[in-house]
Amino acid sequence: GENVEQHPSTLSVQEGDSAVIKCTYSDSASNYFPWYKQELGKRPQLIIDIRSNVGEKKDQRIAVTLNKTAKHFSLHITETQPEDSAVYFCAAPAGGNQFYFGTGTSLTVIP
Amino acid sequence: NAGVTQTPKFRILKIGQSMTLQCTQDMNHNYMYWYRQDPGMGLKLIYYSVGAGITDKGEVPNGYNVSRSTTEDFPLRLELAAPSQTSVYFCASSYAGGAGETQYFGPGTRLLVL
């Protein structure tokens, strides 16, 4: 079955700096990797995703990269702003209709 | 559209009590999921459903039951509540399952078992 590991568990950056969160997965058949953002006391919301047929996807200040050979994918946030402070979760398919989620990264952007 | 709604928002249960967490979606999604989120942890799948009348176990199903009599509703039943079931419960839905299908989450139900 799938095993998803996420690092780091906490991350503090100065406003304007970049933040990188990395996830590794174990199932080489996995083909879709979403990232969710969860603000304090709120529900998780999808912010970006990537399929295994591409190596990178960008959406304004957010990008995700995928290395299928090494079985890891990363979330990159550039020019961080205080409103980026949240917990970020990666996920990977666990066969059929299930997803396994990483344990989350708590990002704090210091003004 | 209201999206995915959950009730109640917060509940305190005594050990051994039972309750039903309600989840409703108005997006005509076929797939629905129940997750639990423990402090500092990711989301663990409890049960999911691929359509009315069809349910299946996820990663952590013990102590829970579900039913799916309609497309819109997917209630989660806790029998004989235990302190280990203290958690935040999220319901989610998606149009289809598997890769590429965005899951939309409800606002969550915070459950405390004492």
Q: Nearest C-alpha of chain B: how many angstroms from A63?
A: 17
Contacts of A49 in chain B (CB under 8 A): 100, 102
Cα–Cα distance, B42 to A106 (Å, whole number)? 11
For chains A and B, what is the number of CB pairs under 8 angstroms? 57
Task: Give the pLDDT confidence score for residue B42 in this predicted structure.
Answer: 86
Contacts of A100 in chain B (CB under 8 A): 45, 59
Task: Give the pLDDT confidence score for residue B96 in this predicted structure.
Answer: 75
Q: For B53-101, how does the pLDDT look when each residue is reduced to its tens digit (9 = 90+)?
A: 999 999 899 999 999 999 999 999 998 999 999 999 999 998 876 666 7
Chosen for mutation from B9, B43, B49, B88 (greatest number of chain A CBs closer than 10 Å) is: B43
> Across the interface, do A103 and B40 touch by the CB < 8 Å criterion?
yes
- Closest CB to B42 among A32, A42, A104: A104
Question: Can you say how many angstroms the Cα of residue B77 is from the centroid of all Cα atoms in its chain?
Answer: 9
Task: Give the pLDDT confidence score for residue A66 in this predicted structure.
Answer: 95
> Across the interface, do A104 and B97 touch by the CB < 8 Å criterion?
no
Q: Name the residue in chain B with its Cα closest to that of A42.
A: B107
Task: Give the pLDDT confidence score for residue A1 in this predicted structure.
Answer: 65
Q: Which amino acid is at B47?
A: Y
Contacts of B42 in chain A (CB under 8 A): 4, 6, 89, 101-104
Q: For A33-90, how does the pLDDT look when each residue is reduced to its tens digit (9 = 90+)?
A: 999 999 998 999 999 999 888 899 999 999 999 999 999 999 999 999 999 999 999 9
DSSP string, B24-78: EE-S--SEEEEEEE-TT--EEEEEEEEETTEEEE-S--TTEEE--SSSSB--EEE
Contacts of A101 in chain B (CB under 8 A): 35, 42-44
